[in-house]
A and B are shown apart, each in its own frame.
Chain A
Amino acid sequence: MENYFFVDSEHLSPETLAKKHEIEDNPSSRKNHMEYLPGMEIIKSNVCENVMEQIKRFDCSKYTAKDVRAALQHDKCSIEDFKALLSPAAEPFLEQMAEKARIETSKHFGNTVYLFTPLYIANYCENYCVYCGFNCYNHINRMKLSMEQIEKEMQVIADSGMEEILILTGESRVHSDIKYIGESCKLARKYFRMVGLEIYPVNTDEYRYLHECGADYVTVFQETYDTEKYEKLHLLGHKRVWPYRFDAQERALMGGMRGVAFSALLGLSDFRKDALASALHVYYLQRKYPHAEMSLSCPRLRPIVNNEKINPLNVHEKQLCQIICAYRIFLPFVGITVSSRESASFRNGIVKIAATKVSAGVSTGIGDHESKYTGKETDDIQGDEQFEIDDNRSLDTMYKDITDEGLQPVLNDYLYL
């Protein structure tokens, strides 16, 4: 099934191709994905153990309509109730789930919808993750913005009215080191009220440094909690080490970050198990760090440059909606982010039910905000995109659309303390 991910670029040398094929075809040529690499901090935590124990026991086919009805009637959603809501048996109850989710959302968030935009500052990557446009064997325009270029991008975004930014890089310590990311955060603090990071996982002291530079929210996608599948999809690089990635949010909180975000990339493996694991990752970490703010994203696979065959498989909009409603009912207090991977109509609908944060004015490319925001032609080199987006509404359009839906767009609800 995963073979449709493999694409051989004509730009690769015969030696590189041979190495690529060896890694793809011969599992024994790959490093043990459960083993830490030198320099990776190991923390004491039972969160992973708790989550994986639940996943092991989860058989979504054993839940029935009766379990779903009971889950919908309960005041408090237990882990068992949540499993029922994620199961195929809950699909006929989608409308009731949406109604319950909407009530929970309004209790905790009223009618507010938060807005943010991502800023990719570099797309160099040392990993070979077969579904990702930035993977090291994919022939794309690579780029790393200089501080001047970053500042220019930030000015353009800030001029559009945006107050929250999420800084992203490809996963390359060589090209995008911690200092480089830290300096970007310091710049971002000048232009934005809230600065989030979505970068390669780092150690606690590095998170602490980045927090001191102005970042206060860390997003790490686990991609899939199915470790065997993870091994087959992340063939090379630091990202291959699954447990180091799992503990990233906890290290970020230990480093002083206010909040952390989680996600599986739905469609990589059994999406119901991945949804269960993502939510339990939040659940157990919240019990350990009750002060922390937590949020869930729910991305589905998207086509990438040089491979348009990539798609979210059996996770259709109905299933995605089911997962998001189940997230909301199980974890009424967490933020739920729906990115521009999804269509405008889906996002308009889901913010009325459960989503509390959406992106706007999005580019997943490097250094192209001026041309995208102002339509101005530029001779500057631009880096290729990580994946194709679906909803390309600007901040102004998004702001208006949310208001027209009777909701309240919020650009900032945050203080850096």
Chain B
Amino acid sequence: MNKDKLIIGGHEFNSRFILGSGKYSMKLIDSAVKDAGAEIITLAVRRANSKEQENILDYIPKGVTLLPNTSGARNADEAVRIARLARELGCGNYVKIEIMRDSKYLLPDNEETIKATEILANDGFVVMPYMYPDLNIARDLVNAGAATIMPLASPIGSNKGLATKEFIQILIDEIDLPIIVDAGIGKPSQACEAMEMGAAAIMANTALATAGNLPLMASAFKNAIEAGRKAYLSGLGRVLTRGGSASDPLTGFLRD
């Protein structure tokens, strides 16, 4: 397992749990990171754009890779501007592209996301696009220079789990970049299921923010993600759709 690293933009990560930082108190960020064992944490640039005495950046523990996101962007141009602002603010060169033209479900705009990915990848960013799981779009994102693909499991904040399971599986099977399941994962069991399918990592925020005990839930996710990863690496046992199966093979009568 020790050699099982998640590689994004040339960097190696041991943890496969990417933590969100919105929606819960900044004072909990430190313990959430520790209990989740997270090495990457996302933050909204628009939240960091504050003179506030309690700037969210001050609460991110040292040594954790910042993944600024472009939430608030309604098109590629705005996402590019936010990403560049993040770099100016000292947030590094990782960026998670989020482009929404819908304030109700916050579903990503795949076409604009491709455009932004290309511009930012050419500009030296490690681009991690959040997208609606569509194989053709995913291929375009690969060609545009994405470092990972981040398909949604169900609408952000919904905690509804793997509503797009079949389509995420297709991305895992067909795309050679790490597939990080983002948005909609509400329970550790759902995170585990996505990891068993072969997802490279899980991103979660609301599931933790709305939990009764945030650090405890962070640790539950950590265990679930690790369990799912081990199951994937070990090669899952078969699952029968109906009834049992004779332990003697049907073709046992055939001679060599």
Contacts and interface: CB of A to CB of B under 8 A. Distances in A.
Do chains A and B interact in one complex?
yes
Interface of A: 103, 106-112, 161, 163, 193, 286, 290-294, 333, 406-408, 410-415, 417
Given A110-B209, A112-B23, A417-B78, A411 B52 contact: yes
Given A111-B209, A286-B104, A291-B74, A161 B52 contact: yes
Interface stretch (B7-15, B42-50, B113-121): B42-50
Contacts of B104: 286, 290, 333
The prevalent SS among residues of A at the interface is loop
Contacts of B105: 333
Given A293-B103, A333-B103, A110 B206 contact: yes
Contact of A415 (B49, B103, B159): B49
A107 B159 contact: yes
B232 to A, nearest CB: 29
B95 interface: no
B122 interface: no
B114 to A, nearest CB: 18
B25 A111 contact: yes
A193 B50 contact: yes
A168 B24 CA distance: 32
Given A290-B104, A414-B72, A417-B81, A108 B46 contact: no
Given A111-B23, A111-B25, A286 B103 contact: yes
A110 B101 contact: no
B56 to A, nearest CB: 9
Contacts of A412: 46-47, 49-52
A333 B72 CA distance: 14
The prevalent SS among residues of B at the interface is loop
Given A193-B49, A294-B103, A106 B72 contact: no
Given A290-B104, A291-B103, A415-B82, A110 B24 contact: yes
A22 B32 CA distance: 68
B210 A163 contact: no
B210 A110 contact: yes
B30 to A, nearest CB: 15
Contacts of A406: 25
A173 B48 CA distance: 38
Given A110-B23, A413-B46, 19 more contacts: A106-B206, A107-B157, A107-B206, A110-B205, A111-B23, A111-B25, A193-B51, A293-B103, A294-B103, A333-B103, A333-B106, A408-B26, A412-B52, A414-B46, A415-B46, A415-B72, A415-B82, A417-B74, A417-B82
B102 interface: yes
A157 B146 CA distance: 43
Contacts of A414: 46, 49, 72
Contacts of B158: 107
In the complex, the 6 A-B pairs of residues with the closest C-beta atoms, listed nearest first: A110-B23, A110-B209, A291-B101, A412-B50, A107-B157, A290-B102
B53 interface: yes
Contact of A163 (B52, B74, B100, B209): B52
B147 interface: no
8 contacts: A110-B210, A111-B23, A291-B101, A292-B103, A407-B25, A412-B51, A415-B72, A417-B82
Nearest to A110: B23
